């Protein structure tokens, strides 16, 4: 980011809360006072989509600034001019011009963009620029030239394993728009559920969805809702694996073994669509043709991952087919399948997308590979001429901190790709898999971490200051809540349900020491399937709580200062005290709530850890040495605390370890 021209005489101190950071920002002098709502001018355009977006975003600015809403068509005196160069294409493409130029002066705002989508991004930036100034609200004088680094900036939500109501999708689309993501990848089918209504094949949802599916009207509504926010919708229909739900409905498509029920277990299933029968392709053709009437996007995702298909190794008919077609193994048979499906997709004038595994020898180049295996796999594809989208480092179910995701770059300048190969890396996609999602917890699993990743996809490569990102993530998180996201509320609701009371002051403090374990660890420790209730302690604990980064930063500040800064010391000591004091209260609530008492051993450990922290602070502040053996003993306690228990991890271990190690013995 080029950050230039911040005048020392500016009356308003510019607080940069923007996320993602723009490509170029220059801060001028003064600010635009928000004491009247806007007089909107949109010379030369009359696209209802843009008008609606202006209406919506002006309303958000009014709310933030406490201004009376102007009704539609009613205008104030502050000028807001929005100019768009070209009319929008009926279907948003990968090559949409998303850039914009935003100029705020002391008298008004001008926004220039090539397309509606660029203008909508500019409006989101404008909303984020509102800040308090003395007794009122202002937008600082700035000029912003902005354009995204990657064309494909996606979020995938798995609605197959657990269904998510349309309202959940809507609010996540609002959040995506706020951070300038532009692809909603809708994972619609899984072993655990077929979520998209087909009129040609109604049994898909009748038999395969437990009644939880999107009607065609729902899906059209989602597509329109997304388009109104500059977001493409790429639907995914998994084949030939992850297809138990298809096969429950149409067992004649199975490769041999037929499922008796919707699969409740997660993981990789043995069922697979039969790639050797003509009827399969007739089915896929008719189905995808029907879906193309609902999903206008130029891309369709066919999954294609994790298909062990044991039937392909034993079914004599399939083995005979493979022999006849010189297909030596399952991989070759799946490549054959992909090639047939690709023909169907091409006939629909669409591009096919698939997970890593679709990348098999002989596959035509017109396939986009979504890499869940990692950068190596992505770059290998690019070297072979395939377009690709990186997902591996953006799996939210790993429950890793935002800062870790943030630093993973889809295309570091250090990579050895040629300029032409670099062009094949379209961007990145955040993946939210659904094994442990409940509609009440999904938002806190996705947000605000995805805002940090969205910045990675949009902003220049050298925007990599993790502390600064976390600093901006706090207001970003509140902005997302104002859009209707429930990521900040749902933990409390979960805690109240566990405790059976509103009095969760102590519990609220207690949980700040924890984060959920990642998908892998949870799957190994707890048997979960689609019917497991997702209302345990772990579900009420959010990934990467703000206290984690705050603690790390404060410990770093404390240790970095030779005088062991008293403010940091006091803040750390106060947190340890708060945490320790929460324990007896939480214990009382455990006594009345068996579900809560699952975390009992963690409460004991928390007391040990806070005592350790207080001791370390004392030694360090007083420059005293600890008695011999103290550190070894603490290390043992820390190692114990690292062990899995109650499906949660302590967030404070690494920084606490630093504190302990800083003590002299």
Helical H runs in 17-107? Answer: 48-65
Distances (CA, A) of 564 to 52, 556, 630, 656: 54, 10, 21, 15
What are residue 234's phi and psi, to 5 degrees?
-105, 110
Does 40 interact with its own copies (rule: CB under 8 A)? no
**Which of 497, 553, 585, 662 is close enough to bind its own copies by CB under 8 A?**
497
| Site for its own copies contains 62 (CB under 8 A) | yes
List 91, 200, 592, 607, residue binding its own copies (CB under 8 A): 592
337 token code pair: 């399948």
Active-site residue list: 306
Among 489, 581, 604, 636, binds its own copies (CB under 8 A): 489
In degrees, rounded to 5, the angle at the alpha carbon of residue 210 between the alpha carbons of residues 206 and 213 is 70
Q: What are phi and psi of 398, to 5 degrees?
A: -70, -10
Residue 281 or 550 having the CB closest to its own copies: 550
Task: Give the one residue of 215, 482, 567, 633 binding its own copies; rule: CB under 8 A.
Answer: 482
Task: Name the segment binding its own copies (CB under 8 A); options: 76-84, 330-338, 594-602, 657-665.
Answer: 594-602
Longest dimension (CA), the chain: 82
Window 526 to 555, contacts with its own copies (CB under 8 A) = 529, 531-533, 535-536, 546
Q: Which residues contact 433 (CB under 8 A, 6 or more apart)?
A: 158, 161, 395, 396, 397, 519
- The nearer residue to its own copies, 72 or 383, going by C-beta atoms, is 72
Residue of 5, 136, 412, 654 that binds its own copies (CB under 8 A): 136
Are 78 and 65 in contact, with CB atoms under 8 Å apart? no
C-alpha angle 27-28-32 in degrees, rounded to nearest 5: 105
Size of the residue set binding its own copies (CB under 8 A) = 49
- Is residue 502 involved in binding its own copies (CB under 8 A)? yes
The DSSP element (H or E) to which 606 belongs, if any, is: helix 600-622
Q: For residue 63, what are the contacts with CB-CB under 8 A and spacing of at least 6?
A: 69, 482
Alpha carbons 323 and 207: distance in angstroms, whole number: 34
- Reduce the DSSP state of residue 27 to 3 states and report it: strand
- In the chain, the N- to C-terminal Cα span, in Å, equals 46
Cα 488 to Cα 500: distance, rounded to the nearest angstrom = 19
* Cα–Cα dist 407/260, whole Å: 45
Q: By rule CB under 8 A, what string of x and - marks binding of each residue 550-589 to its own copies?
A: ----------------------------------------
> Residues 428 to 447: which contact its own copies by CB under 8 A?
440
Q: For residues 67 and 231, which CB has a smaller minimum distance to its own copies in the complex?
A: 67
Query: What is the C-alpha to C-alpha distance for residues 229 and 153, in angstroms, rounded to an integer?
Result: 14
Per-residue binding string, its own copies, 308-347, x by CB under 8 A, is ----------------------------------------
Residue 132 beta carbon to its own copies: minimum distance, rounded to whole angstroms? 6
Pick the binder of its own copies from 43, 46, 95, 135 (CB under 8 A): 135
Of the pair 97, 492, the CB lying nearest its own copies is at 492
72 interacts with its own copies by CB under 8 A: yes
Residues 191 to 220 in contact with its own copies, rule: CB under 8 A: 210-211
Binding region for its own copies (CB under 8 A): 62-63, 66-72, 132, 134-137, 167, 210-211, 262, 264, 440, 474-475, 477-478, 481-482, 484, 486, 488-489, 492-493, 496-497, 500-502, 529, 531-533, 535-536, 546, 592-595, 597
């Amino acid at each position: 980011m080029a950050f230039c021209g911040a005048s020392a005489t500016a009356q308003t101190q510019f607080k940069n809360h923007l996320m993602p950071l723009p490509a170029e920002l220059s801060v001028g002098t003064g600010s635009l006072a928000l004491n009247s709502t806007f007089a909107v001018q949109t010379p030369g355009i009359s696209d209802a989509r843009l008008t609606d977006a202006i209406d919506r975003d002006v309303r958000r600015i009014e709310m933030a600034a406490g201004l009376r809403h102007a009704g539609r068509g009613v205008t104030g005196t502050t000028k807001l001019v929005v100019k768009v160069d070209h009319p929008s294409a009926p279907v948003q493409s990968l090559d949409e011009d998303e850039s914009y130029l935003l100029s705020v002066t002391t008298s008004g705002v001008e926004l220039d963009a090539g397309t509606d989508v660029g203008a909508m991004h500019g409006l989101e930036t404008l909303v984020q620029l509102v800040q308090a100034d003395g007794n009122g609200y202002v937008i600082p004088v700035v000029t912003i030239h902005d354009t995204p680094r990657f064309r494909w900036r996606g979020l995938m939500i798995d609605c197959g394993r657990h269904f998510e109501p349309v309202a959940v999708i809507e609010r996540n689309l609002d959040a995506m728009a706020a951070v300038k993501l532009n692809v909603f990848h809708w994972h619609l089918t899984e072993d655990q559920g077929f979520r998209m209504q087909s009129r040609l094949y109604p049994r898909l949802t009748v038999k395969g969805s437990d009644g939880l599916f999107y009607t065609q009207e729902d899906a059209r509504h989602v597509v329109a809702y997304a388009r109104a926010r500059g977001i493409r919708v790429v639907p995914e229909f998994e084949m030939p694996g992850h297809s138990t739900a298809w096969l429950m409905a149409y067992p004649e498509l199975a490769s041999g073994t037929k499922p008796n029920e919707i699969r409740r277990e997660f993981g990789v299933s043995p069922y697979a669509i039969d790639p050797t029968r003509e009827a399969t392709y007739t089915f896929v053709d008719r189905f995808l043709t029907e879906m193309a009437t609902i999903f206008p996007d130029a891309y369709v995702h066919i999954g294609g991952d994790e298909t062990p298909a044991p039937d392909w190794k034993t079914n004599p008919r399939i083995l005979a087919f493979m022999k006849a077609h010189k297909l030596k193994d399952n991989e070759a048979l799946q490549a054959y399948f992909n090639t047939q499906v690709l023909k169907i997709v091409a006939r629909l004038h669409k591009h096919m997308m698939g997970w890593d595994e679709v990348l098999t020898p002989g596959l035509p180049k017109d396939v986009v590979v979504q890499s869940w295996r990692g950068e190596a796999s992505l770059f290998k594809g690019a070297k072979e001429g395939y377009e690709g989208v990186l997902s591996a480092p953006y799996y939210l179910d790993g429950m890793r901190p935002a800062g870790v995701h943030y630093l993973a770059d889809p295309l570091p300048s250090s990579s050895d790709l040629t300029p032409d190969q670099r062009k094949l890396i379209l961007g990145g996609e955040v993946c939210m898999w659904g094994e442990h999602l409940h509609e009440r917890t999904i938002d806190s699993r996705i947000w605000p971490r995805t805002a940090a990743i969205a910045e990675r996809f949009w902003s220049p490569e050298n925007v990599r200051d993790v502390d600064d990102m976390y600093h901006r993530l706090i207001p970003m998180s509140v902005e997302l809540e104002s859009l209707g996201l429930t990521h900040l509320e749902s933990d409390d609701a979960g805690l109240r349900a566990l405790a059976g009371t509103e009095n969760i002051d102590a519990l609220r403090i207690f949980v700040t020491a924890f984060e959920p374990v990642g998908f892998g660890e949870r799957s190994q420790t707890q048997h979960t399937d689609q019917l497991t209730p997702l209302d345990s302690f772990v579900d009420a604990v959010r990934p990467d709580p703000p206290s984690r980064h705050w603690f790390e930063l404060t410990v770093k500040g404390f240790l970095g200062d030779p005088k062991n800064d008293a403010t940091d010391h006091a803040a750390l000591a106060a947190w340890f005290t708060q945490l320790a004091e929460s324990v007896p209260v939480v214990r009382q609530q455990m006594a009345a709530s068996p579900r809560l008492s699952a975390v009992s051993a963690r409460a004991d450990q928390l007391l040990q850890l806070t005592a350790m922290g207080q001791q370390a602070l004392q030694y360090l502040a007083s420059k005293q040495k600890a008695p011999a053996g103290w550190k070894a003993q603490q290390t043992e306690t820390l190692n114990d605390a690292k062990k899995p228990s109650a499906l949660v991890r302590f967030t404070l271990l690494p920084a606490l370890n630093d504190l302990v190690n800083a003590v002299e013995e």
